[in-house]
Chain A
Amino acid sequence: MTLPTTIEEALPVGGVAAEAVAALTAATVIGTFVMLNTALAGPWAKRKITAAFTDRISVNQFGPLGVGIVVPDAVRLVSKELIVPEGADRPAWDLAPLVLVFSALFAFAVIPMGNGVHLADPEVGLVFVFAIASVASLGLVMAGYASNNKYAFLGGLRAVAQNLAYEIPLILVGISVVLYTGSLQMSEIVATQRETLVSLGPLSVPGWFAIVNPFAFVLFLVANVAEVGRNPFDVFEAPTEIVAGYQTEYSSVYFVLIYLGEFVHIFLGGAIIATIFLGGPAGPVLPGIVWFLLKIWAMFLFTQWLRSAVPRVRIDQLIEIGWKRLLVLAFVNLFVTATVVGVLAA
């Protein structure tokens, strides 16, 4: 049962109004929940994690472990001057940060987070996620092109090239999962993974697709890092090469929005991986939502780890890895999966 239905049933009245109120409330709850994670990740967790990798302490003055830094940082960021570059393509330039944030936020609508926190469960759930998430590319191009800045322009071009090269393998690997489940519905995908794969005495190994097909899992992981643009695939920001890429000209609130979009995207990547490879909210003892959080934060940690330890590849190497290696491997994976599924079904 999805969250809006739960709320609707709890309401004293029924009808269309109640349905609308329930839907809006549920959307607000989930949106706030995701944003809360992002707020923690951006000003606090990212700093703490990077500091841990580089033998530093980082923020420690506000609240326990410095987590209170979120508040002064938010105030600081929104109180900065918004500088609009001369010759910026106005509506596009203003819309780009919004597109970036909302493309990622919308996709969370179909992610089952456990304990009934699930906004909608359409039959085409997985397709919806990929479709909405890839709208972010549009935001990147808009930002890069509309800024009227050469660095932003280069960053925008890189972003298109990179997203084209990595979205196809990403979706191909996603399809191989669909072949297993026979359904695009998120709840169905999660349910399939709940079945026990093998039992070793008292222990039973669940049929998570990361365990069933680790090859696909690794492929997806790599493609996803490129998709969210983190090291070693952060060429469209590449601060030491093209300053900040597509976001060079954004300041103040727009800067916050772009960063928000990036972090929501990282969490979305984690959420997709958790859902289609790691059994969604499944896990022993703890409630589902906690497991779900653990999984997406683990993915966040993973991207930050890469960021501290892995060199950035060059743009031509990046494209080469995408088209010549990852795409081929993704097709191989799809072919093998299809064969195995076909044989098993027969």
Chain B
Amino acid sequence: MSLQRRPVGETPDGLDYDALAELLDGYVLDREQHLNCEAFVIRPDDVAAVLSTLRDRAAFDHLSLVTAQEYRDRYESIYHLKKYDDPTQELSLVVPTPRDQPHSQSGADVFDTATWHEREAYDLVGIEYDDHPDLRRILLPETWQGHPLSLDYNQDKPQIVPLREHANPMEGRTDVADRSDTMFINIGPHHPATHGVLHLKTVVDGEQVVDIDPDIGYLHRCEEQMCQQSTYRHQIMPYPDRWDYVSAGILNEWAYARAAESLADIDVPVYAQVLRTMSAELCRICAHLLAIGTFALDIYGEFTAIFMYAVTDRERIQNLLEELTGQRLMFNYLRLGGVAWGLPEPRAEYLETVRSVMTEFPDRLEEYHNLLTSNELFQMRVLDTGVLPAETAKSYGATGPVARGSGIDYDLRRDDPYGYYDELDWEVVTDDGGDNFSRALVRLQEMEQSARIVRQCVDVLADWSGEREIQSNVPRTVKPGGEVYRAVEGAKGELGIYIRADGTDTPARFKIRSPAFSNLQTLEVLAEGEYIADMIAALGSLDIVLGEVDR
């Protein structure tokens, strides 16, 4: 018998849900089958107890997403749990609450990430979480009337806000304003370093940040609702391009494609998988280049050469993607069951261009290493600032380069394989530093790995001898059923989609797990006590895109 206790439910061949149900004996009211995993139905009062039991005893240390939805007879919150060690081991907790009294216990005590996810659930659907530390609206303005994703919400009713509701943002923060040695300052929504329309309500003590409260939602475009009103087959696919809109489009599309394909049980031909893998990795390089470039802007100032170098390199890859997809940013390249087009003709010439760009790319990266990571002044600025310890990162649900920069070895491309990644030879990059430097370093090294993946894909495509099947046979109208939560490794981290299908050709609930949303929440850890300059650097190193945070 091993001295080390194996987490409950973990067996060599997958998860033993019976053992988990036994562990939660007395809590589990019912067991449901979702397409990705089993779901346990629990009482609204037991949320914190169940979550902490699962985290401590069964090693479910990753609360990936909280989905809220309204049925005709009840509200439901779903806590999607995973393990950082093995994200294929999943468990969903379904918490139904009565319609007339939508009160549910908060999970924020157990997982910090629940704080924001539950705020969003409250904001959009209207479930109230008891014992929540800070249950305010998050995406919509404080003055909003009603909850837009609830069933009886009247979309046509104008939102008229009386003047008195336009409260001074200083009010309600008198606790801080009363202290004469601090200053409240609004950083954003219009500020050179907030990477979009982010508003940071910041309290500074001289040059140091005492308290920071990100105010998001300025770019909220009802993406979830728009997807719920669109058909699976064709209408949803263009939307993901608009989430993380700085060239990570295909990665986002893949998140939807993966969820919808597993929901409707659609196969994807191998040739199309290779095309997807190649184009997605090109997107990842573009996204990381922009992240590095803007991070350099935050550290260097507005006239740095690095930003222009990054944009120049990104342009080369953008041209490749344009030739492949016909678009530069809003690709709309993936289709359920494959991709929209094959390689542009002449194929050999195109592949040769991709190969030569990708072969040169590591040399180009060397220049960024010279200018950034091996620059002593740069190191002086970013080493040991904005530190995110691994345990905190897990509690906040951080994923992607942010988690890997904190030494968490978590990458869905390897841990929950999809596409063609399994067949290729590449590595997951991690760094133990957990500071601003590590996150930038991880991105730089990941680009190198992505270039490696693309080169291998080019080899596969160049030597392809069979039929070049770019799409499988998918019915014109897809009417699946069931519930599924599937995620892919987006540019910023775990980009997941939860879909509840009700047998019609549009989703009954479409929920996006945005990695930038969860990553941004860690800013309160990264920034507190740091200098303003380091807070800005930390924000840059998180690499958020507000289109994805606000959806």
Interface residues of A in 303-338 (CB under 8 A from B): 304, 307-317
Q: How far, in angstroms, from A312 to B540 measured CA to CA in the complex?
A: 15
Query: Contact between B308 and A314 (Cβ–Cβ < 8 Å)?
Result: no
B218 at interface (Cβ–Cβ under 8 A)?
no
Against A, the Cβ 8 Å flags (1 = close, 0 = not) of B458-494 are 0000000000000000000000000000000000000
Which residue in B300, B308, B309 is a CB contact (below 8 Å) of A311?
B300
Question: Is the beta-carbon distance between A241 and B377 smaller than 8 angstroms?
Answer: no
Confirm or deny: B533 has a beta carbon within 8 angstroms of a beta carbon on chain A: yes
Contact string against A for B residues 272-313, beta-carbon threshold 8 Å, 1 for contact and 0 otherwise: 000000000000000000000000111111111101110010
Q: Is A56 an interface residue (CB 8 A)?
A: yes
- Indicate if A231 sits at the interface (CB-CB under 8 A): yes
CB < 8 Å neighbour of B531 from A56, A151, A231, A316 = A316
Which of B183, B192, B312 gathers the greatest number of chain A CB atoms within 10 Å? B192
Contacts of A235 in B (CB 8 A): 533
Interface size class of B (residues with CB under 8 A): 20 to 34
A132-164 CB contact bits vs B (8 Å, 1 = yes)? Answer: 000000000000000000110010000000000
**Contact digits for A287-310, partner B, Cβ 8 Å, 1 yes 0 no:** 000000000000000001001111
Complex alpha-carbon distance, A314 and B183, angstroms = 19
- 1/0 per residue, CB under 8 A from A, across B504-547: the answer is 00000000000000000000000000011110100000000000
CB closest chain-B residue, reference A242: B532
Closest to A54 in B: B308
Contact call A53/B305, Cβ cutoff below 8 A: yes
Distance of A54 from chain B, by nearest CB (Å):
3
* Contact of B377 with A232 in the complex, beta carbons under 8 Å: yes
A10 touches B (CB below 8 Å): no
How far, in whole Å, are A53 and B305 apart by their CA atoms in the complex?
A: 6
> How does the 8 Å CB contact mask read for B171-202 relative to A, with 1 for contact and 0 for none?
00000000000010100000111000000000
User: Contacting B301 at CB < 8 Å: which of A55, A151, A243, A307?
Assistant: A307
Q: Does B420 contact A (CB under 8 A)?
A: no
With an 8 A cutoff between CB atoms, is B328 at the interface? no
Q: CB-nearest residue of chain A relative to B532?
A: A241
Q: How large is the interface on A (under 10, 10 to 19, 20 to 34, 35 or more residues)?
A: 20 to 34
Q: Which of A50, A151, A310 has a CB less than 8 Å from the CB of B300?
A: A310
How distant is A32 from chain B, measured CB to nearest CB, in Å?
Answer: 28
Residues in B whose Cβ lies below 8 Å from that of A50: 303
- Cβ of B300: which chain A residues have Cβ within 8 Å of it? 231, 310-312
Report B-chain residues with C-beta under 8 Å of the C-beta of A240.
192-193, 297-298, 301-302, 536
The reply to whether A311 and B375 form a contact with Cβ atoms under 8 Å apart is: yes
- Give the residue name and chain of the A residue nearest to B307 (CB): A54
A239 adjacent to chain B (CB < 8 Å): yes
- Nearest B residue (CB) for A150: B185
- State A157–B303 Cα separation when bound (angstroms): 23
Q: Is A262 part of the contact surface with B, judged by Cβ < 8 Å? A: no
Q: Is B308 within 8 A of A56, CB to CB?
A: yes
Q: Which residues of A contact B265 (CB under 8 A)?
A: none
Q: Pick from A56, A150, A231, A316: contact of B183, CB below 8 A.
A: A150
Task: Name the A residues within 8 Å of B380 (CB-CB).
Answer: 313, 317
B207 near A: Cβ within 8 Å? yes
A191 on the B face (CB < 8 A):
no
B residues in contact with A241, CB < 8 Å: 193, 532-533, 536
Q: Does B378 belong to the interface (CB within 8 Å)?
A: yes
Check: B15 CB closer than 8 A to any chain A CB.
Answer: no
Say whether A308 contacts B192, CB under 8 Å. no
Q: Which residue of B lies closest to A153 (CB)?
A: B183
Residues 92 to 141 of chain A near chain B (Cβ within 8 Å): none
Given A54-B309, A240-B302, A315 and B207 contact (CB-CB distance below 8 Å): yes
Which residue in chain B gives the minimum CB-CB distance to A315?
Answer: B207
Q: A54-B308, A243-B191 are in contact. Are A238 and B531 (CB under 8 A)?
A: no
Would you call A167 an interface residue if the criterion is a C-beta within 8 Å of the partner chain's C-beta atoms? no
| Contacting residues of chain B (70-116) with chain A, CB-CB under 8 angstroms | none
Bound-state Cα–Cα, A150 to B183, Å: 9
Contacts of B381 in A (CB 8 A): 311-314, 317
B531 proximity list for chain A (CB < 8 A): 314-316
Bound-complex Cα distance A55 to B207 (A):
35
Q: A238 to B534, alpha carbons, bound, how many Å?
A: 12
Does B371 sit within 8 A of A, measured CB to CB? Answer: yes
A50 and B312 CA atoms in complex are apart in Å by 15
Residues in A with CB closer than 8 Å to B309 are: 54-55
1/0 contact string of A226-264 vs chain B (CB within 8 Å): 000001101100111111000000000000000000000
- Report chain A residues within 8 Å CB of B185: 150-151
Q: How far is the CB of A1 from chain B (nearest CB, A)?
A: 42
Given the interface pairs A54-B308, A54-B309, the reply to whether A315 lies near B533 with Cβ below 8 Å is yes
Contact with A along B407-446 (1 / 0, CB 8 A): 0000000000000000000000000000000000000000
Q: When A150-B183, A309-B371, A313-B380 are in contact, do A239 and B308 touch as well, CB less than 8 Å? A: no
CB of A157, distance to nearest CB on chain B (Å)? 8
A151 to B, closest residue via Cβ: B185
Contact with B along A42-58 (1 / 0, CB 8 A): 00000000100111100
A82 to B232 alpha-carbon distance, docked (Å): 53
Separation of A309 and B533 alpha carbons in the complex (Å): 18
Q: A158 to chain B: closest CB distance in Å?
A: 8
A316→B192 CA distance, assembly (Å): 22
- Expressed in whole angstroms, the Cα–Cα distance for A135 and B195 within the complex equals 37
Contact pick for B302, options A239, A242, A314, A316, CB 8 Å: A239
Q: Which of B191, B302, B303, B307 has the most CB of A within 10 A?
A: B303
Contact with A along B329-366 (1 / 0, CB 8 A): 00000000000000000000000000000000000000
> Which of A50, A239, A241 counts the most B-chain CB atoms under 10 A from its CB?
A241
Return the chain B residue nearest A51 by Cβ: B308
25 pairs, A vs B, C-beta closer than 8 Å: A50-B303, A54-B309, A56-B308, A154-B207, A231-B300, A234-B301, A238-B301, A239-B302, A240-B297, A241-B536, A242-B532, A304-B303, A307-B301, A307-B303, A309-B305, A311-B301, A311-B375, A311-B378, A311-B381, A312-B299, A314-B381, A314-B533, A315-B533, A316-B207, A316-B531
Contacts A151-B185, A307-B301 supplied; 13 other A-B pairs, CB < 8 Å: A54-B307, A150-B183, A154-B207, A231-B303, A234-B301, A240-B192, A240-B302, A241-B532, A311-B296, A312-B299, A313-B377, A313-B381, A315-B533
- On B, residues with C-beta under 8 Å from A are 183, 185, 191-193, 207, 296-305, 307-309, 312, 371, 375, 377-378, 380-381, 531-534, 536
**What 10 pairs between A and B have smallest CB-CB spacing?**
A54-B308, A240-B193, A308-B305, A314-B533, A54-B305, A311-B300, A307-B303, A311-B299, A311-B377, A240-B298
